[in-house]
Structure 1
């Protein structure tokens, strides 16, 4: 197959234009038949008055060698498209592998194991998707929090209620990334995620996809058990022997995958009590900021911002501050919503969420500041959890001690005074927002870095620092505050126990977590202890 790269079109191109352009690049006549598929699609908006849509195509055509031999087209090459292949392992398990958690890491670990005949058992502390959505909607409407089923816990993991970004910086010579994307499409995601430069699925599609992945695992002989929280481990002479569920029942297995989320704080404590090696790690905390989506579109696309062939605009911003901290945008949600992601009583957390169409009025993003273990209040391995909890508790108080989210106009945050009114930018939280002073909810060095960052980002996106931009807080769950130590074989200090995914400290987002789940599935089946 031939690959044609970096082919640029204007915004008003159509399919006929694509066919004509491919013929021109391949130097073939009108009577030569071929077919193509889009491999990559991106936007080049560096010149606002001349925005281009850039494609890479794979082309199926006869006489490939002859066409490739023609001179003058360096963007044309031959490719041999491969698919992900599960390593051929000679492992026969006496017992079925147990996977703790049904986020992206747990689901894809379970899916790959099920596809290869290992019949995994996935244990999820929260509810199935339908009941989880009901619990989240009830919390949004009434502020009645379920600590077992919320935006952090339940089928699909925390990423289910997000923008559903599917891009990753992880290198992928084994095609695990492609495997994940293809499974998403097979289970109901839009096909465009296979080729968009920055693919996203949206929380609306993601919920359907997760349910279909679960069904596929079950059809292949696996199990998914909800409301099953692993509360202890069974260990026998340095090897895992199984797990205790809900403090009452035991499930025996010599292969346990810990695909827990970054908010499974009680599980972190349980692991520490069971002498599983854990270390503190850096993470980031901060606030969410909301602007009109039109402002972001205009800034990124200029006068073409309303063109039908342009996606809703996003941004990615970073700044190194005078106090030595880094501040950056994170989990940017175009046309999205700020949501209450609380999971513990008396504590408030924010996150961002978008549907696939990204058609809400506001854009929002976290503005995060790097935190290191030196900033923690104590030396315990779970000191990062205590650090997060402090600011979440202050945010709960600032919001009125009723799970409302504290919000503030940017100008008032800059001047360290409580907001008393809202400008033209209305918080997407609606009446679940309480005007507050967010300076009271974070360390001074974090607030100072965010203030400096807003001024710096305003030079890159005109209007970013507008006085009535809405800030909300706090955002503390950007990544796990711990890492469960694992060796080159992906095992912890307890043989047969596999830390996996974002909560274990080895991923940062849907795609990297899913890919880590596949890697751990490969490692589990490479063991010889059960032969």
Structure 2
């Protein structure tokens, strides 16, 4: 096959225009092209009066060598396929099923790969299956009654299930794992476009169905998935995992445990620390969710408030501050909602969420400031967790249990908002007017203001007075890294830290990729379970 890059087409183009463009680039006729596959699609909006879709396309046609001989173009080359291959089997006998703790992207993909290879994994999830989890989350948003084991953070699919469903990653991927993850998502019901979009996303509505289908694949391949099954303790013998204890009573013997616990499993982190599992506090970021009219973002990025052939616009911005910290946007949700993402009683956290169509009136994004172990209240490996909890406790108090929101003008003046202006909040869960700034230490508040004011240079209206800020965005990544070595095990033999919660991923795709890596590490040592 031949790869053609930098094919430029106007928004709203028809399929036959792609074929015509390929033919012209390859100096051949459309009927000579047997088939083509879109590998990448992005939007070039640098010239607002001449926005283009940019494609990379693989083409199969007759006499490819002749075509390449007569064309000397750096954008035309032979396809070098990067096909994923699962690692070879190990030789050590596996006498008990591997146990995977957590069914977020890391846990699900680790379980799926192992199940397909005959390892019959047992997945233990503290929360509910995704169908019941959706009901619990909706009930919490309506009534405020929190299920501390099944919520926006916990339950089948992990925290990403109630998010924008972004699938882009900065992880370099010579192995083909990234492509494999996207292919598995498509096989499970996601949109085919995610395999080639520059910034792919699924959307929370479709992601829930995809997660269920992956679970059913795991079971069909010999695995087992159990819900309402929290691992409350582990038993270690001679520096080797021996058992996991479920719901304080059931004992399950195992030689292999995958810790795919997610970034919010604070009680599990505490239990693991008490068992002398090596871990350390790590840097992360905290801040607010900010809402603007989506049409304002479109106007900045595209030059028009609404474009008939372009999706609602995204943005990604970052600045270095005068105090040496970084401030940046995170998990931007076009046409999305701010959601109450709490998982502990009397503490409150927010996140962003979009449906697949991204057709809400507002855009929202986390605006967050980097914090490091030097900022934490203790030198404990769980110092970052303590820092998160203190902010979330304050957010709960400021909002009296509801999501506290504030106009950006009042945030700068450090006073409680008493009335909204030009933007109607789009929030899942109860909200109240408050002084969001009072949640934060002053160094974070000042950093947020400096960053938001600077972002005005990138996006006109970003620092507008009636922009709505909500707090607190505290679950951006894990505050802990569980140390693992070259074998992917921690200091206890048979325990494999995995995914975002363990500190080795940052988002749905990278967590899924890490799940695959850990599955490979297990398969490299052990034979399938008999």
Q: TM-score, normalised by structure 2?
A: 0.98
What corresponds to 1:309 in structure 2? 309
| Structure 2: distance between partners of 1:75 and 1:472 | 46
Is 1:288–1:475's contact at 8 Å kept on the other side of the alignment? Answer: yes
Per-residue deviation, residues 196-240 of structure 1 (Å, max 9, x unmatched): 000000001100000000000000000000011111112111111
Contact 1:94 1:530 survives alignment (8 Å)? no
Match of 2:378 in 1: 378
2:514 aligns with 516
Deviation at 1:325, TM superposition (A): 1.4
- 1:127 aligned residue: 128
Equivalence for 1:321: 321
Residue 87 of structure 1 deviates from its aligned partner by 1.1
Counterpart position of 1:224: 225
- Residue 386 of structure 2 aligns to a residue whose secondary structure is helix
Is 1:25–1:73's contact at 8 Å kept on the other side of the alignment?
Answer: no
Hey, what does 1:93 align to over in structure 2? 94
The residue aligned with 1:434 is: 432
What is the distance in 2 between the residues matched to 1:475 and 1:306?
29
Instruction: State the 1:70 CA deviation.
Output: 1.2
Cα 1:59/1:462, change in 2 over 3 Å:
same
| CA distance in structure 1 between the partners assigned to 2:308 and 2:337 by the alignment | 23
Task: Please state how far the C-alpha of 1:528 moved relative to its aligned partner.
Answer: 5.5
Q: Which deviates the most, 308-317 or 286-295?
A: 308-317
Distance 1:239 1:2, change over 3 A: same
Q: How far apart are the structure 2 equivalents of 1:30 and 1:296?
A: 39
The C-alpha deviation readout for 1:99-157, integer Å capped at 9, x for no partner, is 00000000000000001010000000000111100000000000011101100000000
- Aligned counterpart, 1:405: 403
Q: 1: CA distance between counterparts of 2:128 and 2:94?
A: 29
Alignment of 1:119-518 (within 5 A): 119-303=120-304, 305-400=305-400, 403-429=401-427, 432-518=430-516
- Structure 1 runs, 4 residues or longer, greater than 6 Å off: none
More displaced, 410-419 or 26-35?
Answer: 26-35
Q: Is the 8 A contact 2:140 2:429 kept in 1?
A: no
Please give the alpha-carbon distance, in whole angstroms, between the structure 1 residues aligned to 2:383 and 2:74: 54
Contact 1:97 1:255 in 2 (8 A): yes
> 1:83, 1:380 → 2: CA distance?
43
- Identify the residue that residue 2 of structure 2 maps to in structure 1: 2
Q: 1:469 to 1:276 in 2, by over 3 A?
A: same
5+ long unaligned stretches in structure 1: none
Residue 31 of structure 1 and its aligned partner are, at CA, apart by: 4.7
Shift in CA distance, 415/38, structure 1 to aligned 2, threshold 3 Å: same
* 3-state SS, counterpart of residue 207 of structure 1: helix
CA distance in 2, matches of 1:459, 1:276: 46
Aligned equivalents of 2:512, 2:153: Cα separation in 1: 17
How big is the shift at 1:432?
Answer: 1.4
Asked if 2 retains the 8 angstrom alpha-carbon contact of 1:427 and 1:433, the reply is no
Shift in Å, 1:46: 0.6
- TM-score, length of structure 1 as denominator length: 0.98
Asked if structure 1 preserves the Cα contact closer than 8 Å seen for 2:287 and 2:448, the reply is: yes
Contact 2:336-2:360 at 8 Å conserved across structures: yes
Deviation at 1:530, TM superposition (A): 10
**1:525 is paired with a residue of what secondary structure?**
helix
Structure 1 position 24, deviation (Å): 1.0
